[in-house]
Amino acid sequence: MSAAEGLSERLKEIDSQGLTRRRKMLSTPQGVSVILEGRPLLNFCSNDYLGLANHPRVVDALRRGASEFGVGSGASHLVCGHSLPHQELEEALAAFTHRDRALLFSTGYMANLGVIDALVGRAGTIFEDRLNHASLLDGARLSGAKLKRYPHGSVPLLSSGEGQLIVSDGVFSMDGDTADVMGLSAVALKAGALLMIDDAHGLGVLGETGAGLLESLALGQGEVPILMGTLGKAFGTFGAFVAGHKDLIDYLLQRARTAIYTTALPPALAVATMASLTLIQEEGWRREHLRGLIERLRQGATDLHLPLMASRSPIQPFLCGSPLVATALADQLLDRGFLVTAIRPPTVPRGTARLRVTLTAGHTHDQVDALLEALSDGFRALPSSLVEDPRP
Ligand SMILES: *Cc1c(COP(=O)(O)O)cnc(C)c1O
């Protein structure tokens, strides 16, 4: 069998399990109303939680940034790609998250790989929640350290020792629930271990000023020394950062390979991100409105006896169990004008395929009600051959 035939066999295997992934092509900007392959749809699967990805002030800032600083950054930060907008953004992000310093990375994936690899060597041990984001698990693999995965939402047992790092999503990306960061912090402090929280889905959304899960828990860099945040979700732009003690940031600048050996973000993106940071801080109504929508969806889903999972965040998954059920429901919703993604293994554990609904500040209560009605019809119309007890 040729190599290509081998791949074609593997593709058939993936397809027979209902696990083929397909990209959907939009011909509009990110937002609540989108056009997907010619069809107007209401979008319920974007991580643009505050509706900033196409905000006029953010778009204007990008334009202004490009006129002043051009498009490409030209080099890595350490060579000559670090410019004034990068510096200003790092300082603003540090102040926003109440940390000494912040360091930009090109993506959240790269930040997680680089930070974990830089901080823990082969002799170390990394403790990770079972449902952590793939990039956090890959960071542990890259470091060569021993990886211990603990049950979702719990706190691992540590004995004191060198080279230990606990890593967790703050808000879990596919479940929408939150880590017990207080518990993790207590255990880490007691064992002299480092703690890293990836707040990709909490930043902008949680906390009085939008500074995320850690702000809502009043945890500073003493309690959570490593905070990772992404800019492609609630910020509506692109990129990521790590914030913490000045020595942490200086060390990462020396040793995080994914920050050193890559081209710096376009400076105009830093200018755009500054504009969205201002909106995040000034327009608290976006968070308020989002909270109202989450309440509405949860109350409605409970009234309709839909299989809603336990989440207070804008990520509201509906458990389907089998990937075939999740895909069938997503297709039905599409027919009724709603864009919701079916999330299947290996992104989530086997038996827990789901529809991952996300709410954004751009949605209205009426749109949430319409989605609930379509979901309810969809779940009721499932052929009985597909319905099984969805709980694993
Ligand atoms: C999206 C996400 C990332 C990756 O961030 P990118 O900037 O998209 O690469 C990392 N961690 C979590 C929890 C995420 O949801």
The CATH number that applies at residue 103 is: 3.40.640.10
Is 391 a domain residue?
no
Whole-number Å distance between alpha carbons of 336 and 341: 14
Of 368, 338, 277, the C-alpha closest to 55 is: 277
Q: Identify whether residues 263 and 317 lie together within a single domain.
A: no
Domain boundary among 243, 259, 282: 282
Task: Give every residue of the chain whose pLDDT is below 70, as ranges.
Answer: 1, 384-392
Output the pLDDT for position 390.
Answer: 47
Ligand 1 centroid to Cα of residue 224, in Å, is: 19
Q: Are the beta carbons of 170 and 199 closer than 8 angstroms? A: yes
User: Sheet harboring 39-43: ordered strands across?
Assistant: 33-36, 39-43, 338-339
333 and 197 assigned to the same domain: no
195 and 63, same domain (yes or no):
yes
Q: Which of 233, 248, 282 is the last residue of a domain?
A: 282
For residues 201 and 115, membership in a common domain is answered with yes
On whether the CB atoms of residues 376 and 338 are closer than 8 A, the answer is no
Q: Which of 198, 228, 235, 258 to mutate to test the pocket of ligand 1 (most atoms within 8 A of CB)?
A: 198
Split into its structural domains, the chain has a count of 2
Q: Give the burial class of 11: count Cβ atoms within 10 A of its Cβ; 0-12 exposed, 13-18 middle, 19 or more buried.
A: exposed
Query: Ligand 1: which residues within 6 Å by Cβ?
Result: 107-109, 112, 133, 135, 169, 173, 198, 200-201, 230, 232, 240
* Domain shared by 245 and 341, yes or no: no
Asked whether 103 and 242 are in contact (CB, 8 A), the reply is yes
Counting from 1 in the atom list of ligand 1, the atom nearest the Cα of 232 is 7
Our mutation pick for probing the ligand 1 site, out of 48, 109, 174, 265, counting the most ligand atoms within 8 A of Cβ, is 109
| b/e burial code for range 157-190 (CB count within 10 A of at least 16 → b) | ebeeeebbbbbbbbbbbbbbbbbebeebbebbee
Last residue of a domain, one of 251, 282, 313: 282
Note whether 221 and 323 are same-domain residues.
no
Domain that holds residue 136: 56-282
pLDDT at residue 17, rounded to an integer: 83
Q: Are residues 337 and 256 located together in one domain of the fold? A: no
Q: Classify residue 10: in a domain, yes or no.
A: no
Atom of ligand 1 nearest to the CA of 135: 10
Helix (H) or strand (E) run with residue 58 in it = helix 56-69
Tell me what pLDDT residue 185 has. Answer: 98
Q: For helices 108-119 and 246-255, give the axis angle rounded to 10 degrees.
A: 100
Q: What is the pLDDT of residue 167?
A: 98
173, 311, 356, best to mutate for ligand 1 pocket (most atoms within 8 Å of CB): 173
Q: Which residue has the tokens 């007890």?
A: 389
Task: State the distance from the centre of ligand 1 to the C-alpha of 85, rounded, in angstroms.
Answer: 23
**Residue of the nearest CA to atom 6 in ligand 1?**
108
Cα–Cα distance, 37 to 61 (Å, whole number): 29
Question: How many residues in total does the chain contain?
Answer: 392
In a domain, 13, yes or no: no
Closest ligand 1 atom, CA of 172? 13
How many angstroms is it from 198 CA to the middle of ligand 1? 8
Structure confidence at residue 1 (pLDDT):
67
pTM over 0.75: yes
302 and 183 both lie in a single domain: no
Q: Give distance in angstroms: CA of 108 to centre of ligand 1.
A: 5
- Atom 8 in ligand 1: which residue has the minimum CA distance? 108
